[in-house]
């Protein structure tokens, strides 16, 4: 019965993933740019962000993904330390590289921008991270997310005690997202017109 439940949830998530991805890809350029700016301003206003000294953030690379590059630049300008994910082909977990700028990025698996794994300065102690900015295609108001199904962030977040923040356009805030025991909910979800308290 448990297997059936897990299979049913996985199937629902796959259908939902295809639908919300199509919605995101159909967003107009001005929606994306205006939405990303509003989301950035909300993140900068978060108490958890202001307190953080080491931020882990994805580098926006996919079509219409909520931009994080401006957030990374501002964080570095403010003197915060910034770590970003590094994924190597064939590995199921991601490493975390400290960066001083967005220069010198290379194409990683699935076209994701990242530091060159051969040259990256890896973060040795994950417990130093204060806040993680988590990618997702869609989120619900309780902090659950639909990602691309690789499981990298769920494996990472299950092993750190840290504030987790998801970024999402208003159009992709859903009423409810099916979730499984291994899914790690966000503490905060930031959209352009609202901030939702998830797992806190």
What domains are there in the chain, each with its CATH number?
A: 2-197 (3.40.50.10420)
Q: Confidence class of residue 4 from pLDDT cuts 50, 70 and 90?
A: very low
Q: Encode burial over 92-125: b for 16+ CB neighbours within 10 A, e otherwise.
A: eebbbbbbeebeebeebeeebbbbebeebeebee
pLDDT at position 199 over 70: no
DSSP 67: P
Question: Which one, of 77, 68, 20, lies nearest residue 40 by Cα?
Answer: 68
pLDDT at position 79 over 60: yes
Residue partners of 109: CB distance under 8 A and separation at least 6? 87, 88, 89
Q: Confidence class of residue 150 from pLDDT cuts 50, 70 and 90?
A: confident
Residues 147 and 135: beta-carbon distance below 8 Å: yes
Q: Confidence class of residue 2 from pLDDT cuts 50, 70 and 90?
A: very low
Q: What are phi and psi of 30, to 5 degrees?
A: -70, -35
Q: Confidence class of residue 178 from pLDDT cuts 50, 70 and 90?
A: confident
pLDDT at position 36 over 90: yes
Of 12 and 84, the one with more pLDDT = 84
Which residues partner with 139 through β-bridges?
A: 145, 173
Phi-psi region of 155 (alpha: psi -120 to 50; beta: other; left: phi over 0): alpha
Structure tokens at 30: 């001005």
Burial class (CB in 10 A: 0-12, 13-18, 19+), 9: middle
Residue with the two structure tokens 């993680």: 132
Question: Which one, of 24, 42, 3, 7, lies nearest residue 145 by Cα?
Answer: 24
């Amino acid at each position: 019965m448990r297997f059936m439940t897990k299979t049913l949830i996985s199937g629902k998530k796959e259908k939902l993933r295809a639908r919300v991805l199509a919605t995101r890809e159909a967003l107009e350029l001005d929606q994306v740019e205006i939405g990303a700016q509003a989301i950035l301003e909300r993140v900068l206003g978060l108490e958890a962000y202001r307190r953080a000294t080491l931020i882990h953030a994805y580098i926006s690379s996919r079509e219409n993904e909520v931009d994080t590059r401006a957030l990374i630049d501002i964080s570095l300008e403010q003197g915060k330390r910034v770590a970003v994910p590094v994924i190597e082909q064939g590995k199921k977990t991601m490493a975390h590289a400290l960066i001083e700028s967005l220069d010198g990025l290379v194409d990683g698996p699935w076209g994701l921008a990242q530091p060159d794994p051969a040259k990256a300065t890896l973060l040795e102690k994950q417990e130093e991270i204060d806040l993680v900015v988590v990618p997702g295609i869609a989120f619900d108001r309780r902090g659950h997310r639909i990602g691309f199904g690789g499981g990298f962030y769920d494996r990472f977040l299950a092993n750190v005690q840290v504030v987790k923040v998801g970024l999402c356009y208003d159009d992709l805030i859903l009423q409810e997202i099916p979730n499984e025991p291994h899914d790690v909910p966000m503490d905060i979800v930031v959209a352009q017109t609202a901030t939702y308290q998830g797992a806190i």
